[in-house]
Amino acid sequence: MVLNVTHSHAQSSPSAAGGQEPVEIRIGYLRAYEPQLALSVLDIPPPDNGVAGARVAIDDNNTTGSFLGQKFTLDVVEIKPGDDALEPFRQMVANGAQFVLVDLPADQVLAVADAGRDQGIIIFNVASREDSLREENCRINVFHTAPTYSMLADGLAQYLMWKQWPRWVLIYGSHEADQLFAEALRRAAERFGGNIVAEKLFEDTGTARRTDTGVTQIQRMMPVFTQDLPEHDVILAADESEVFGGYLPYRTWVPRPVAGSAGLRPSSWHPASEQWGGTQIQNRFEKTIGRRMNSIDMNAWTAVRSVGEAATRTQSGDPAKLADFIRSPEFQVAAFRGQRLTYRKWNQQLRQPVFLGDSSQVVSTSPQEGYLHQVSELDTLGIDEPETSCRF
């Protein structure tokens, strides 16, 4: 197991708390990481994906914390995908982390949540989109800043229905994540009146993603693959494993827009977002990190800022107090998304708008106009309280 541990400490002013030592709030970040290939070299995730967002948020927390006698630190631990996450997690907790952000597969999120529960360790899931983590497998000590597959699918479906493009063809991949997103798209169609007129499975045969003759083969293959489809408005790609989705736009038999895992993509943030003060966070992020902010960066930023906001409001560093406040009706976090965000009390999922964008710009943001809800219009995205199977 290769562990890469980094420590980020920001200076804090003890004088703010009347000359006393500042209260230290230690936040851990545990991620499974190794360099990945993608269909496009432009889509390869940066090595500091997510971690960069947490670092910027630590700086933001310390700006306020220095006046309140609070000091926030970040410890980052990386493991290779498939490696055991429990041992490094326990080590992180032994080193004093009270809050841990995790970028791990769903089963490992549950493993670390259960391992830390009795010690009062609070987990923030910043990457895993499985609805089951918020539903039948929900945990009282886990908050989720990553949106679910159902939230992303609902955000996309609302826009397609607003555009009056109700006839969809669903092309889905053969990996588990592809199937989960496909299921969320089927649910969204049923919920908002979309009509899936056909479905096709794109089997991953494990061939090389990039070869010299690849473009020619794809140019011939994709039109044939999409030739026998019934009349439709949009092709939905459920390809979370990046096998075929990027090859669909401009290569289909009939000219139709592509959405989902390619083309028009739903996400929790967009590197081009400048609305609602977005320019401010983007500029600050770019100045500190040297690149634009992406969705996992924003998920991690929001998790660290949630802890910071709770610490400011309660003037405490006690994890139990902070977690209780984050669950309370008084909590909200400003996150450059048009409204102050809160966590759903029934499954601790962050309510948030869904950005719909292509590679260069934001096309729209859901919830769309006209989709109303008695509590929050954000609750039109994903699994609502009457539907939840979460029982803490």
**By CB neighbour count within 10 A (0-12 exposed, 13-18 middle, 19+ buried), where does 341 fall?**
buried
**Burial label, 378 (beta-carbon count in 10 A; 0-12, 13-18, 19+):** buried
Rounded-to-10 torsion of CA 242, 244, 248, 249:
20
Distance CA 182, CA 188 (A): 10
Q: Answer yes or no: same fold for 4-147+270-352 and 150-267.
A: yes
Tell which residue, 45, 10, 33, has the closest CA to residue 88: 33
3.40.50.2300, 1.10.760.10, 3.40.640.10, 3.30.160.20: CATH of 4-147+270-352: 3.40.50.2300
pLDDT digits (tens, 9 = 90+) for 351-370: 999 999 999 999 999 999 99
Nearest-angstrom CA–CA distance, 198 and 232: 9
Residue 18 predicted with pLDDT over 80: no
Are 191 and 387 within 8 A, CB to CB?
no
For 237, the token pair is 């790609």
Quick one: which of 255, 240, 243 has its CA closest to 105?
A: 240
Q: What angle do CA 285, 365, 306 make, to 5 degrees?
A: 45
CA distance 223 to 227: 6
Q: Determine the length of the chain.
A: 392
Q: Domain 150-267: what homologous superfamily? A: Response regulator (3.40.50.2300)
Q: What is the mean pLDDT of the chain?
A: 92
Which tens digits make up the pLDDT trace of 192-251?
999 999 999 999 887 645 444 466 677 888 999 999 999 999 999 999 999 999 999 999
Digit-coded pLDDT (tens) for 23-61: 999 999 999 999 888 888 888 899 999 999 999 999 999
Q: Residue 358: what pLDDT?
A: 96
Q: What residue ranges do the domains of the chain occupy?
A: 4-147+270-352, 150-267
pTM higher than the cut 0.85: yes
